[in-house]
C-alpha cells in the first residue's frame, strides 16, 4: 500500500470521535434470534435489512460500530458482500468501524488477514481490527506494521469477559507476570509517545470487577464489552478501569439492538447509553 498524504492515526481519530459523540461502541451482531425479534427472516434479505437499519439509524451519531464478522460470514459470499456495504456506509456517514474478526495466525497468513481488513484498497477495510495474540504477540507483527502504515488500529485480546479466558490470560509466566499483563505491556510499548492516544488497544471486559493489579495505562484505547445485556453498567466503569477510564470504549450490542427495528428507539437507546457513559467517566 502506498499513500501520498499522511493518514491521521486511528488513536487520534478515535479520541476525536469519542469526545464529539460520546465514548460508545455499538455492536452489529445479526444473530438469528435477534433477526427474529425484529420480525426478519434469518436469510440474506433479513441480514441486509437489519444492517442497513442500524447504520441508517446510528451512523451519524455514534462514535464506533463493531460488526461481528462471523454473523455475516455464515451466509457465505453474499453475507460478506453485505458486510462490505455495512462497513462502507458506516464509515461514509462518519462512524469509525472496528471489525470484530479476532484474527490470529503466523507469517504470510497473518499478513493476509491484515491485508483483508487493514489495507485501504480492500473492500473490507476498517478503521481497526480485533486480533488474538495467543500464538505469541510477535505473530501479530504483520498486522501491527500494516496498521501503522495505513493509519488503522488493532484491539488485542488481553483480559476478556468470557469465563474461559482466564485459564490462558491469567496464567503466570516464568517471570511472574500473567499472560494478560504481558499483552498490556506490549501494547504500552507500541503506543509510547503517541498523542493524544495510541492506536493499539486492548480488549478488556467491563464485567471483570477490580483490575487494579493490572496496568491498564497503555496510552491506548480499551475496548470494553459487557455493558447492558452482560450485566455491567456505565457506573461500574471507574471501579473496573481506574485511572485509565478516560480511554475506555464501552461496547453495547443487545442493549441497543433489542430496540429495533424502530429507528427512533435505536437512536434513543444509543444516546442514553452514551450519556450515561460520558457522565460515569466524566468526559
Q: What is the CATH number of the domain that holds 73?
A: 3.20.20.70
Domain presence at residue 104? yes
pLDDT at 7: 86
Domain presence at residue 283? no
Are residues 98 and 64 in contact, defined by beta-carbon separation less than 8 angstroms? Answer: yes
In sequence order, the 6+-apart residues with CB closer than 8 A to the CB of 89 are 52, 55, 59
pLDDT at 155: 98
Q: What are phi and psi of 32, to 5 degrees?
A: -60, -40
Distance CA 109, CA 37 (A): 38
Distance CA 276, CA 234 (A): 6
pLDDT at 3: 46
Domain presence at residue 115? yes
CA angle 254, 256, 258 (to 5 degrees): 60
Distance CA 66, CA 235 (A): 22
| Structural domain of 32 | 10-278
pLDDT at 229: 67
Percent of residues, the chain, with pLDDT higher than 70 = 97
Domain presence at residue 3? no
252-277 average pLDDT score? 96
161-177 average pLDDT score? 95
**Catalytic-labelled residue, pool 102, 141, 258, 271:** 102
Distance CA 149, CA 179 (A): 27
Backbone CA torsion sign across 267, 271, 277, 280: negative
By C-alpha distance, which of 107, 98, 108 is closest to 131?
98
Domain presence at residue 183? yes
Number of domains in the chain: 1
Helix (H) or strand (E) holding 73: helix 69-73
Phi-psi bin for 248: left (phi > 0), alpha (psi -120 to 50), beta? Answer: beta
pLDDT digits (tens, 9 = 90+) for 22-40: 999 999 999 999 999 999 9
pLDDT at 4: 47
Determine the distance from the C-alpha atom of residue 186 to the mean position of all C-alpha atoms in its chain, rounded to a whole number: 18
Active site residue 66: no
pLDDT at 221: 98
Distance CA 186, CA 10 (A): 18
Percent of residues, the chain, with pLDDT higher than 90 = 94
pLDDT at 259: 97
| Least confident stretch, 64-78, 123-137, 207-221, 224-238 | 224-238
254-282 average pLDDT score? 95
Distance CA 123, CA 103 (A): 17
Amino acid at each position: 500500500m502506498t499513500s501520498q498524504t499522511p493518514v491521521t492515526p486511528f488513536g487520534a481519530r478515535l479520541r476525536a470521535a469519542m469526545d464529539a459523540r460520546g465514548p460508545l461502541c455499538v455492536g452489529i451482531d445479526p444473530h438469528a434470534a435477534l433477526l427474529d425479534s425484529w420480525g426478519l427472516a434469518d436469510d440474506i434479505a433479513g441480514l441486509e435489512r437489519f444492517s442497513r437499519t442500524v447504520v441508517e439509524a446510528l451512523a451519524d451519531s455514534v462514535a464506533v460500530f463493531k460488526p461481528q464478522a462471523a454473523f455475516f460470514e455464515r451466509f457465505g459470499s453474499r453475507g460478506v458482500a453485505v458486510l462490505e456495504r455495512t462497513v462502507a456506509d458506516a464509515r461514509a456517514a462518519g462512524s469509525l468501524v472496528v471489525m470484530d474478526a479476532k484474527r490470529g495466525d503466523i507469517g504470510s497468513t497473518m499478513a493476509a488477514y491484515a491485508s483483508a481488513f487493514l489495507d485501504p484498497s480492500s473492500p473490507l477495510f476498517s478503521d481497526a481490527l480485533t486480533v488474538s495474540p495467543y500464538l505469541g504477540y510477535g505473530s501479530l507483527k504483520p498486522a501491527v506494521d500494516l496498521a501503522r502504515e495505513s493509519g488503522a488500529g488493532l484491539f488485542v485480546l488481553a483480559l476478556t469477559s468470557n469465563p474461559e479466558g482466564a485459564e490462558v490470560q491469567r496464567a503466570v509466566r516464568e517471570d511472574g507476570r500473567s499472560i494478560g499483563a504481558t499483552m498490556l505491556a506490549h501494547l504500552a510499548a507500541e503506543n509510547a509517545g503517541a498523542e493524544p492516544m495510541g492506536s493499539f488497544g486492548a480488549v478488556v471486559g467491563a464485567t471483570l470487577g477490580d483490575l487494579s493489579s493490572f496496568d491498564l495505562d497503555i496510552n491506548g484505547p480499551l475496548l470494553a464489552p459487557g455493558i447492558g445485556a452482560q450485566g455491567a453498567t456505565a457506573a461500574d466503569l471507574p471501579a473496573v478501569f481506574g485511572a485509565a477510564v478516560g480511554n475506555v470504549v464501552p461496547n453495547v450490542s443487545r442493549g441497543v439492538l433489542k430496540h429495533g427495528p424502530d429507528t427512533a428507539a435505536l437512536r434513543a437507546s444509543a444516546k442514553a447509553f452514551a450519556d450515561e457513559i460520558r457522565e460515569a467517566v466524566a468526559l
